[in-house]
Amino acid sequence: MKKTLKIVGIVIGLLIIFLIAAPFLFEGKILEIVKSTVNKNIDAEFDFADADISFIRNFPEVSVAVNDMSIVNTGTFAGETLVAAKEANVSVPFMQIFNSADEGYTINSFSIDGAVVNILINEEGLVNYDIAKKDGTEVPVNTSETPTSNVTLSIQKYEITNSQIKYYDEQGKMYFQLNDFNHSGTGDLSAVKSELDTKTSGLISFDMDGTNYFKETPVTLDAKLGVDLAQNIYTFLENKAKVNQLELVFDGSVKLNDNSQDVDITFKTPSSDFKNFLALIPKAYSKEIENVNTTGDFIVQGVLNGTVDETHIPKFNIGITSNNASFKYPDLPQSVSNITIDTKIANDTGLLENTYVNINALTFKIAQDVFSANATIKDIMGNPLVNANLKGRINLGNLSQAYPFSVEQQLKGILDANITTAFDMKAIEDGRYQDTKNSGSLGLSGFEFDSEDMTNPIQISKAGLTFNTQNVTLNSFEAKTGQTDLSAKGTIDNLLGYMFNDQILKGSFTLNSNTFAVNDFMTESETPEPTKTSESTKTATPEVATTESIKIPAFLDATIVAKANTLLYDNLTLKDASGTLLVKDEIVTLKDFKSNIFGGQIALNGAVSTKADIPTFDVNLGMNSFNIAQSFKGLEMLQALAPIAQAFKGTLNSNFEIKGNLNNEFTPNLSTLSGNALAELLVSDVDSKDSKVLSTLVDRLEFLNFNEGETKKINTTLTFNDGQVQVKPFNLKFKDIDVQVAGSHGFDQSLNYNATFDVPAKYLGTEAQNLLSKLNDPDAENISVPVTANIGGSVGSPSITTDLSATAKTLTNKLVTMQKDKLLNEGSNKVKDALNSFLNSNTTKDSTKTTTTTTAKAKAKDSVTTDNIKKAADNLLNGLFGSKKESNDSGK
């Protein structure tokens, strides 16, 4: 006995050692089999990052797990990932690892985790999942003359977890997505007849032709299937499905043929409780329906029967009915009663285009308000034909009293509707609105709404629409938000095209307002709360509200003739504003806009665009009779373009061509401006105290006095780009001093200007006047000195320098030329003595030192030199600049 136990122990030990070591012995062969087998059978690239072979995980079978598996398309969909998975696991019988390459392999189970399946159908109808080899090597199963596929499915169980399926049909404009997909099945699929027990769950999203029907809607399916492989018939034995919270039970069968499927399925709700209807509402909005009190019934039942092939779908008839039902949430004061639903969704021919919907009745009552509707929609998948009637009154305030809507503020207002419409989608797509039939009216009164995305709540006192065949007429619209009041009328040309076919909404309107504040249409986003910190590290951080810029609607193509008695824009107040706005393609074009502001009138033509992430503008701006002081104080743009002009009193006339970017507040971003301007200033006075540049000039130049200006008109041209303003030369006059100014400055307030003053000699002081009188020349009074001032630094801290050497040289040349010409006319023999006398008369006498007449005469010849004349000119310049800046005269 001991010997027997010892032998068994040794065998078991050897088996365990073999099971541990075998993966290392056979891993290369098995992995190569997996890759080569798959790639030989598909027109795609199959690969995985890593693999693991285990003889223990599913003993006595061999388990092969691959990580980061992928199947990538080639050909038409080259590069598109058809399938990817974090992990895939298959198990095969142990002995089959010894098979040769041409022998078969049987897969007994498999599992997939974290899979993503992308199914694509392009515009040409080609599919990315058709990856089976098409090289002619495939042969029918059970053909003895030719080898069959070397992989056999003998599934006992399978599992798919945490996966996702995406289906996108470009041709049919259909999108389906199944998230959080989990599916498992157990049974013996190797038997001719067997039962397969399956469980499925996931979240469904479905869009068709731009319309969303399901959004992350939870679905579950527990189904036991009878499988008959001999006849390819799959029978639903015990089955229960749940869509959101609506339960359905169904039975029937599906038979697979070579090129078609025969379907025969019936389904219905297991109970008739009206809570079935509430269960259709997405769970996020259903608000604990188990506590809702209901009366009446709600039944969904249907039949699918027929053949599915390339041209047919099953015939079906789905009925949704409810009679005299009601529901009431326990915490709300109102109930929804008198609910009647009679709806049929059917297809009687099996042709997809013949699907139709009949809403024979849909009515409900909240408090005293009754609403009813009926409609038919034919040829849903072809050219839908719609015929609908809506009638009733809804007090919007009662909605949140009867149903727990997630709104911060209760809705208010009365909606009255009486609308009849009949149209087909092709007519709307082609713009043949004359082939549609619409009549009735829609009214809204006492409406109030607020949300966190709005700066102010909106109040619509009344709004009325009239529907007719050609268009929709806005008969009245009276609203208020913040400081803004609005009154509008107009027409909408293609409301149906906008509502049902995503077309651009076209219309024309007149808009009137007593006060229109642009800031009322900005939105504010709250600053996130600061992260909590300890007391030792806590710092005070002010709350800041950020403002989002206005976005011009992309769906709007409208002409708006607008007028506002008061228009508030940024910090500006405009009066009697009017103009025409053309809104299209996220661009507002302004035509003939005019308004009164700054004591004058503004005229504007141009465009504003929000197509790009940063809004832009490009306008021609006219200013007529602007009060200079007011306009430069109120407009940051003028301050940047002409910072010195704000010290002038008078009026401004100007024409601007200007473009650039807009800030979030819809004000110009100065650093992006470019354009040009022709400006005319009619100056009545100058207050140098209002400009640091002008006050510095007055302090630096003795002769300058802006209060004695004679210039009444200044004309100049400006060009600006990249933050720099170039100013073409323009002329000023103060008393009888002519001034020419030219240069540039930056939006950063930097200055680079030259101002040339033509200064008459009479302003050079008493000493200069005495000197000039010695010339005994009537033209002496006409002598003037050009003085150039270089203005640099910044607007707030200017620096001013002058070039005295150039001024002295000019004055010297004038004096020498004038006296020489005079003496030459009197006789050449008197030239030297006269010049000497002239120069000596300007020499200061010293009481302690005297020179003899003989010595003076002896040196007279030497004194008639350019250096002595220049010294006399320097003395004149001392009179020119006075004594305020004597210490700075040298070199300046």
The residue written with tokens 């707030």 in the block is 796
The structure tokens 């997909």 sit at 181
pTM for this entry: 0.60
Q: Confidence band (pLDDT; 50, 70, 90) for 146?
A: very low
Residues 6 or more apart from 135 whose CB is under 8 A from it? none
CB atoms under 10 Å from CB of 537, counted, come to: 6
pLDDT digits (tens, 9 = 90+) for 801-820: 877 666 666 666 766 676 66
Number of other CB atoms surrounding residue 633 within 10 Å = 14
Residue 848 has pLDDT above 60, yes or no: no
- What are 245's two structure tokens? 């919270």
| Separation of alpha carbons 75 and 133, rounded Å | 13
Looking at the chain, the whole-number percentage of residues with pLDDT higher than 70 is 72
Distances (CA, A) of 676 to 153, 561, 609, 673: 80, 29, 21, 10
Helix (H) or strand (E) holding 814: helix 804-826
Per-residue pLDDT at 850 exceeds 70:
no
**CA distance linking residue 416 with residue 434, whole number of Å:** 26
Instruction: Provide the 3-class DSSP secondary structure of residue 227.
Output: strand
pLDDT band at 264 (very low <50, low <70, confident <90, very high): very high
pLDDT at site 64: 75
Q: Cβ contacts of residue 203 below 8 Å, gap of 6+?
A: 178, 179, 180, 216, 217, 218, 219
* Per-residue pLDDT reduced to its tens digit, 446-456: 988 776 666 77
Total number of residues shown for the chain: 892
The pLDDT tens digits of the residues spanning 296-310 come to 999 999 999 999 888
Q: For 502-545, where are the alpha helices, taking DSSP H only?
A: none
Write the pLDDT tens digit of every residue in 369-404.
899 999 999 988 778 899 999 999 988 888 888 887
pLDDT of residue 25: 47
Q: What percent of the chain has pLDDT over 90?
A: 17
Span 182-195, average pLDDT? 83
Q: What is the largest CA-CA distance in the chain?
A: 162
776: three-class secondary structure by DSSP: coil
**What are the φ and ψ backbone dihedral angles of 723, each rounded to 5 degrees?**
80, 10
Measure CA 198 to chain center: 46
CA distance 791 to 801: 7
**Confidence (pLDDT) at 416:** 92
826: tokens are 């009197």
Lowest mean pLDDT among 123-137, 192-206, 320-334: 123-137
Structure tokens at 868: 């002595």
Name the least confident of 108-122, 508-522, 581-595, 696-710. 696-710
DSSP state of 670: G
pLDDT band at 514 (very low <50, low <70, confident <90, very high): very high
Q: What is the pLDDT of residues 650-692, one digit of tens each?
A: 888 889 899 988 887 777 888 888 889 888 888 777 777 777 7
The pLDDT of residue 38 is above 80: no
Structure token digits, residue 313: 């779908």
- Quickly state the pLDDT bin for 579 (edges 50, 70, 90): very high
Tokens for 438, please give them: 């619409």
Are 788 and 803 contacting, i.e. CB atoms less than 8 angstroms apart?
A: yes
pLDDT at 527 over 60: no
Tokens in use for 538?
């806590």
Between CA 531 and CA 59 the distance in angstroms is 54
Instruction: Tell me the C-alpha to C-alpha distance, in Å, between residue 121 and each of 70, 118, 132, 144, 207.
Output: 20, 10, 16, 37, 15
Confidence at residue 852, expressed as pLDDT on a 0 to 100 scale: 39
Per-residue tokens: 205: 């999203």
pLDDT grade, residue 148 (50/70/90)?
very low
Q: How far is CA 2 from the centre of its chain?
A: 84
Question: Cβ–Cβ contacts within 10 Å for residue 506, how many?
Answer: 20
Rounded Cα gap, residues 224 and 320, in angstroms: 26
User: What's residue 372's pLDDT?
Assistant: 94
How high is the pLDDT of residue 478? 93
Pair type for strands 572-584 and 616-627: unpaired
Of the candidates 223, 204, 225, 201, the residue with the CA atom closest to the CA atom of residue 215: 204
The model's confidence at residue 45, banded by pLDDT at 50, 70 and 90, is confident
Sole residue written with tokens 């400009």: 691
Are the beta carbons of 784 and 764 closer than 8 angstroms? Answer: no
pLDDT in tens, 631-656: 887 787 787 888 777 777 888 888 98
pLDDT band, very low/low/confident/very high, at 847 (cuts 50, 70, 90): very low
Mean pLDDT for 288-297 is 82
Q: Give the pLDDT band of residue 458 (cuts 50, 70, 90).
A: confident
Task: Copy the structure tokens of residue 360.
Answer: 């024979």
- Average pLDDT of the chain is 77
pLDDT of residue 239: 87
Q: CB under 8 Å to 846, separation ≥6 — which residues?
A: none
- Section 575-579 average pLDDT: 93
End-to-end CA distance of the chain: 125
> How far apart (Å, rounded) are the C-alpha atoms in residues 420 and 772?
101
Q: Are 546 and 598 in contact (CB under 8 A)?
A: no
Backbone φ and ψ for 31, nearest 5 degrees, come out as: -65, -40
- Of 182-186, 232-236, 710-714, 849-853, least confident by mean pLDDT is 849-853
How high is the pLDDT of residue 607?
Answer: 92
The residues facing 709 across adjacent strands are: 734
pLDDT at 202: 93
Task: List the structure tokens of 509.
Answer: 């309107």
Phi/psi-derived region of residue 502, left when phi > 0, alpha when psi is between -120 and 50, beta in every other case: left
Closest CA to 59 of 104, 116, 16, 106: 16
For 797, the token pair is 């801290």
Query: Which range has highest mean pLDDT (283-292, 330-339, 404-413, 880-889)?
Result: 330-339
Residue reference for tokens 């018939």: 233
Distance CA 852, CA 407 (A): 111
92: burial class by Cβ within 10 Å (0-12, 13-18, 19+)? buried
CA 286, distance to chain mean position in Å, is 33
Angle among Cα 301, 302, 303 to the nearest 5 degrees reads 150
Nearest in space to 339 (alpha carbons), one of 299, 298, 377: 298
At 20 the pLDDT is 46
Cβ count near 223 (within 10 Å):
18
DSSP-derived 3-state class of residue 376: strand
Pairing of strands 484-492, 385-395: unpaired
Q: CA 564, CA 581: separation in Å to the nearest integer?
A: 13
The radius of gyration computed from the CA coordinates of the chain, to the nearest angstrom, equals 47
* CA distance linking residue 551 with residue 521, whole number of Å: 10
User: Looking at the DSSP assignment, which residues form a beta bridge with residue 363?
Assistant: 340, 372
Q: How confident is the model at residue 243 (pLDDT cuts 50, 70, 90)?
A: confident
Confidence of residue 238 (pLDDT cuts 50, 70, 90): confident
Contacts for 416-419 with beta carbons within 8 Å, 24 or more apart? 416/392, 416/441, 416/442, 416/443, 416/444, 416/445, 417/371, 417/390, 417/391, 417/392, 417/393, 417/441, 417/442, 417/443, 418/390, 418/391, 418/442, 419/388, 419/389, 419/390, 419/391, 419/467
Residue 539's pLDDT band, with cuts at 50, 70 and 90, is: very low
Average pLDDT rounded to a whole number, residues 706-725 = 78
**Helix (H), strand (E) at residue 609:** strand 600-609
| Predicted pLDDT at 69 | 83
Question: What average pLDDT does this structure show over 824-841?
Answer: 54
Confirm if 316 and 329 have CB atoms less than 8 A apart: no
The pLDDT, as a whole number, for residue 452 is 67
Does residue 829 surpass a pLDDT of 80?
no
Phi and psi, residue 453, nearest 5°: -85, -5
pLDDT beyond 70 at 205: yes
Task: Collect all residues with Cβ–Cβ distance below 8 Å to 816 and sequence separation of at least 6.
Answer: 866, 869
- The helix (H) or strand (E) run that includes residue 77 is none
**Residue 365, beta-bridge partner list:** 337, 370
Q: Is the pLDDT of residue 36 over 80?
A: no
Which pLDDT score, from 0 to 100, does residue 884 have?
A: 42
